Amino acid sequence: MYRFLLSRQWVILTLLGLVLIPSMIKLGFWQLHRHESRVARNEEVAASLSAATVPVGTLTDTRDGPADDDKFRTVTARGTYDEKHEVVVRHRTGADGDTIGYFVVTPLIRKDGPPLLVNRGWIKADRDLTAFPSVPPAPKGEVAVKGRLMPDETTGASGIKDTKGLPDRQVMLINSKQQAKALGRPLLGGFVQLTATAPKPQGHQPELLPEPDHSGIGPHMAYAVQWWLFTGAVPVGWVILVRREAQERRRAAAGGPGEAPGGSTAQSAEPAEPTEPSAPAEVDKHDKHAEPADPTERRGAAEPGPPAEAGEPTGPGEKREATRGESFAKEPEPVTE
């Protein structure tokens, strides 16, 4: 009954299902791990944002940047901005997540330690991307800054390619080691995302970066459940197809309606065309023993006629006997010697 499973198309379909089942199980666990990573990241970000504010020098130095657990920690620093070595970071989006512009990064020269890179915020890009954009001036004199501590950006961690040959004072990544070469002196590892400045600067300033999202978990768990549902649908669908194929073959073998084996539809026999009634056979009028087709003729034949003459047969039986008698009389008698 199920020998069709050995056909080429069914072997291929079965092998495809056997490949899909473990693949979709793995994809489900991959999405589950992404969900767990997102939840763990949210917890770390929330813990860092709620931690006590500390001086920047306690969490980073010129040899090593901030630890992973110290990312987004709130730190403070005092110094004066060095606008001469200020740079802009290309292809960064604003708070809306769509508008392309620049991050403005300015070194803060500290009296009590190495300089520190400060991301002062975002500005919209000009039409001429080859020239240094118009950047709001940094506050003059000594200022106290407060912000979130971040590690150096790298291509491996951010996925941003560090393009070379850019226009002067334009970069792709915020990296303290690269800027230390331009500045000619070591910098503290990492940088600070500015959140507040004292005294408050006058005039237009770059747009401050918003606090990182640490509440959303994304759709990863839903994707995981979806992949696992697909995994269960594969064997169920395979069984349904097998049973349907077997039923169709049984109907085809029994001669019933339905699809014949191989997918062709069994066609029912066409009804025979109705035939016209045949004309009644003609009756020989000279045959006295023929039954007339018309009832009136049959009634007419039943009416008595004139009396038969003597010696003449009155019925069919007598006629046959007379005929036999005549034939016997006419036969010659055998001659005996």
**Mutual orientation of helices 8-50 and 220-254 as an angle, nearest 10°?**
170
Q: State pLDDT tens for residues 241-261.
A: 999 988 888 888 887 554 445
- The region of weakest confidence among 76-80, 85-89, 275-279, 294-298 is 294-298
**Mean pLDDT estimate for the chain:** 82
Nearest-CA neighbor of 79 among 220, 155, 175, 192?
A: 192
Contact 189, 61 (CB under 8 A): yes
Q: What pLDDT is stored for residue 77 in this prediction?
A: 97
- Whether 134 has a pLDDT exceeding 70, the answer reads yes
- Whether 202 has a pLDDT exceeding 90, the answer reads no
Q: State pLDDT tens for residues 32-65.
A: 999 999 999 899 899 999 999 999 999 999 988 8
Torsion sign across C-alpha atoms 45, 51, 53, 59: negative
Q: What pLDDT is stored for residue 119 in this prediction?
A: 97
Q: Distances from the Cα of 273 to the Cαs of 206, 266, 278, in angstroms?
A: 93, 21, 15
- Whether 106 has a pLDDT exceeding 60, the answer reads yes
Contact 245, 4 (CB under 8 A): yes
- Whether 274 has a pLDDT exceeding 70, the answer reads no
Q: State pLDDT tens for residues 283-335.
A: 455 544 545 545 444 444 445 555 544 444 455 444 444 444 444 444 555 54
Rounded average pLDDT over 86-104: 92
Confidence of residue 2 (pLDDT cuts 50, 70, 90): confident
Q: What pLDDT is stored for residue 126 in this prediction?
A: 84
Q: What pLDDT is stored for residue 325 in this prediction?
A: 45
Give strand pairing partners of 121. 104
Helix (H) or strand (E) holding 258: strand 258-259
Torsion sign across C-alpha atoms 194, 198, 201, 202: positive
Q: What pLDDT is stored for residue 144 in this prediction?
A: 96
| Percent with pLDDT over 90 in the chain | 56
Is the pLDDT higher at 143 or at 333? 143
Confidence of residue 278 (pLDDT cuts 50, 70, 90): low
Q: What pLDDT is stored for residue 317 in this prediction?
A: 47
Confidence of residue 263 (pLDDT cuts 50, 70, 90): very low
- Whether 267 has a pLDDT exceeding 70, the answer reads no
Rounded average pLDDT over 175-201: 94
Rounded average pLDDT over 202-221: 89
Residue 332 CA, distance from chain mean position: 110
Contact 115, 52 (CB under 8 A): no
Q: Any residues with CB less than 8 A from the CB of 174 and at least 6 apart, and which?
A: 89, 103, 105, 117, 119, 150, 152, 153, 191
